[in-house]
Amino acid sequence: MHERNLRFGLYLSDLNRDKNDSHGIINYSVGLANALQRSVPAHEQLYIYANPAITRELEARISERVTIRITPPPTSSQRMLSDHLLGVKRASDDGVSVLHFPKGFVPILPNRRMKVVATLHDDIPLIYARGEYGREYSSTKSRYFTFSLRHTLRQADGLITVSDTSLGRFMDLAKDANITMPPSFVSYQGITLPLNDSIAVEDKKPYLIHIGSNKPHKRSHQAVEFMLRYVAHTDENLQLLILGPLTRSTEMLLQNNPANRIKRTLSVQELSRMIGQSRALVFNSDREGFGLPPVEAYALGTPAVFARTGVMVEVLGDTPGAYEANDYDDFARALDNALALGTDELAAHRQHILDLYDWDAVARETLKAYRQVASHP
């Protein structure tokens, strides 16, 4: 295998922060691209296909092993052509053996001269398309994503995902749809926020921080209710810091309650700083592919309290902060314990998380997946 001088391609041309609701997928893609540049060995080559905006986020590494192809930013009318035909043609012209789509959606028409790998992060669009959060959330967009997800399972030569929990969900989906799963790999992922120095507990600001969302699976309304109730009944001088969008009903809940409210989109540097200086982060989501916010909070030296779901148990294990969903008393117990953690304890948890979720380890697992897919008949 090593003598074949394999060529791998990473397709980032379809990433657009202005058009994509999930910046987490873009952060994953950029983090992976930078780590792959560091990790690809001398006998292999990596081609990165990226539009100008994403290219500016990549680490510039001059190497005979890595080539960055800057692709034109597609207009709306050109997007389908670029993603489904031109991108594949560019990779084929470069002699790429395996082309990876980290956003998860593979071209409609496969190219038989190369293998295609996709990263699928979660099945949340499928849940919305089914109407499990209410028919009003079953949109044309969610149904398109559901079609694309099933198409990826059918057409990809290899599947990468970010947790065993997500892989199990995709296996169930494939079984229900009578789809034969492609070879599958769990790579996990690394920390996407800048890692500032930890702040000692006594120097932190008295904030309970929550990254809000108007999507029902994030359950921001209940998170805010629990936070308000806790602050009202604790002797600690705590303040709510609520970021991002909320539903109208949650905004009304906050009208008569004190909170630091930031609605604008923050840079990753601002978000990292705000999480790092807070006493604790609250994460109430009921369905995730990986569950990055509480992981990144601990990586920044801030404890997180998080609803005990399958993926959070997998990703965070025995890390303090888990509570039973919908149970305020258990939430309050978990937050009490999180706030009681000292600076040295948080430093130990921070290092544990950084050791677990390292981009170079993700890159090594990804390269293993490429090689196995390349060698598969």
The DSSP H or E segment spanning 2 is: none
116: helix, strand or coil: strand
* pLDDT tens digits, 48-105: 999 999 999 998 777 889 999 998 876 666 666 666 677 888 999 999 999 999 999 8
The reply to whether 245 and 174 lie within a common domain is no
pLDDT of residue 20: 63
Q: List the helix and strand counts (H, then E) for the chain.
A: 15, 13
Taking 60 as the threshold, does the pLDDT of residue 2 lie above it?
Answer: no
pLDDT at 283 over 90: yes
Q: Would you call 177 exposed, middle or buried from its count of C-beta atoms within 10 A (0-12, 13-18, 19+)?
A: exposed
Same domain? For 8 and 101 the reply is: yes
Both 279 and 308 in one domain: the answer is yes
Neighbours of 132 (CB within 10 A): 14
Same domain, 152 and 223: no
Assigned domain for 195 exists? no
Q: Which range marks the domain in which residue 216 is found?
A: 201-356
Measured between alpha carbons, how far is 224 from 254 in angstroms, rounded to an integer? 8
- Compute φ and ψ for 260, nearest 5 degrees: -85, 115
27 domain residue, yes or no: yes
Residue bearing the bigger pLDDT, 19 or 192: 192
User: What is the pLDDT at residue 361?
Assistant: 97
In this structure, is residue 196 part of a structural domain?
A: no
- Please state, for a pLDDT cut of 90, what percent of the chain lies above it: 77
What is the pLDDT averaged over residues 350-369? 97
In order, the DSSP letters of 151-211 are HHHHH-SEEEES-HHHHHHHHHHHHHTT-PPPPEEE------S--PPP--GGGS-SEEEEE
CATH of the domain at 318: 3.40.50.2000
Spatial separation of the C-alpha atoms in residues 68 and 84, rounded to whole Å: 19
Pairing of strands 207-211, 280-283: parallel
Q: Tell me, what's the pLDDT at 3?
A: 46
Do 124 and 37 lie in a common domain? yes
d(CA 292, CA 280): 15
Question: Does residue 65 belong to any structural domain of this protein?
Answer: yes
Indicate whether 1 pLDDT > 50.
no
The C-alpha torsion from 55 through 57 and 59 to 63, rounded to 10°, is: -10
Percentage above 70 pLDDT, the chain: 95
| Residues 223, 172 share a domain | no
Which residues, 6+ apart, have CB-to-CB distance to 206 below 8 Å? Answer: 236, 237, 238, 239, 279
The model's pLDDT over 309-329, given as tens digits with 9 standing for 90+, comes to: 999 999 999 999 999 999 999
**Mean pLDDT computed over every residue of the chain:** 92
CA–CA separation, 212 and 242 (whole Å): 6
Q: What is the mean pLDDT of residues 156-177?
A: 96
- How confident is the model at residue 74, as a pLDDT? 64
pLDDT score, position 4: 62
> Are 174 and 257 contained in the same domain?
no
Contact in structure between 187 and 365 (CB atoms under 8 Å)? yes
Is 53 among the domain residues?
yes
Read off the pLDDT of residues 170-227 as tens digits, 9 standing for 90 and up.
999 999 999 999 999 999 999 999 999 999 999 999 999 999 999 999 999 999 999 9
Q: Flag whether 60 is in a domain.
A: yes
Task: Note whether 102 and 170 are same-domain residues.
Answer: yes
Average pLDDT over residues 24-29: 92
Q: Examine the domain organization and report whether 21 and 150 are in the same domain.
A: yes
Measured distance CA(165)–CA(248) in Å, rounded: 32
Spatial separation of the C-alpha atoms in residues 373 and 226, rounded to whole Å: 47
Token duo for residue 249:
């009903």
Same structural domain, 129 and 64: yes
Predicted TM-score (pTM) of the model is: 0.92
The answer to which of 24-38, 47-61, 147-161, 309-323 has the lowest mean pLDDT is: 47-61
- Output phi, psi for 285, to 5 deg: -65, 145
| pLDDT 10s digits, 122-138 | 999 899 999 999 888 88
Q: What band does 338 get if pLDDT is binned at 50, 70 and 90? A: very high
Cα separation, 80 vs 13, whole angstroms: 11
- Pick from 287, 279, 165: nearest CA to 219: 287
In this structure, are 344 and 367 located in the same domain?
no
Burial class (CB in 10 A: 0-12, 13-18, 19+), 334: buried
**Are 270 and 148 within one domain?**
no
What total of structural domains would you count in the chain? 2
The Cα–Cα gap between 171 and 301 comes to 35
